[in-house]
Structure 1
């Protein structure tokens, strides 16, 4: 199972960091095809409010402290067949895993039409998933979630969990995606982990990966290039 993180891009050339997650040896649970998966709930830790100056913290920081112990949240929008099922997921050569905010509809639309478009590239499949949480409260939260749901019904490329989508929760988003990945796409060859505000030349990514001797994603790999900063000693 490969997990590849692209850090930066210079003059349309790829600067990348590849991190391989070795075979965990854990068996893959039976696939759940339900559109709504109620994972273990997690209660708010009210003792966090006793922290000194807690009330003066920004709302997103308060939310983070209330739920920082949580590792499981309800999955609102699922993609159980994105990789063709766990057993057939090896047919996916490059899985684009893009972190996105629920309100970033235009960003997602732009990526779908450009570098993140799902397609057969040089004889191999590129698939796309957006990772999204929730935001807002009351009517605004319901309205935005409905818009994301409608977007998902059209494109079938959004994974959404019921946790507050903030910068503080980016690591949480990554962790719970990997749990989903183990269930649904364990044999996908390569993962590209990115954001919805960057450009990636995925044609070059596929070309580079296909040039590797071990292009089945079975080997640990670190690849990149040194970046020199003007004026740095």
Structure 2
């Protein structure tokens, strides 16, 4: 009779032990934090998003602006409490389009120069990374509601810049439109100065127009 009794006591002990809630099963408050609940992930819409560019050339004492756009290859953005926490965006330089030159041959030549070794060097660096590392809301009256801190990697060189933008969430979509911001060729090791098309200035402009779609909540 001792063995059945011993077996019963062991089963009873295991049942009581397993029914106890571990002390570390939940946070001290017993609740998941609101920051975790409100964290949303968005995936960039490749068809609706683009990066606009402008370069400036001096020819025959005239200031000429050439402009166009390129596509993103991929991108993700994280939002918490209507504020952008971070983002990772990849620009595909093979997608460059020019909208300022009517003649096809001249347009093609300009794009070839932009993609060439002395400029974007897309044979070596086919993509560029743009990482948004933080953001702050802009208070008061302004054309923009958000200040972004970004790291731009171009031709293997990284530069940190701050840019103003408008950020808006609407249903399952996120809209991010930055101001036009200026970068310098020399900061990224570019040396192309122009040939028959004229002398290129050191500065060029970007502007990002992003539409992103909500993915499944992280929690």
Q: Which bin holds the TM-score, normalised by the shorter protein?
A: under 0.3
Return the structure number with greater helix share.
1
Which entry has the higher C-alpha Rg, 1 or 2?
A: 2
Higher relative contact order (CA 8 A, sep 6+): 1
Per the normalisation by structure 1, the TM-score is 0.22
Return the structure number with greater strand share.
2
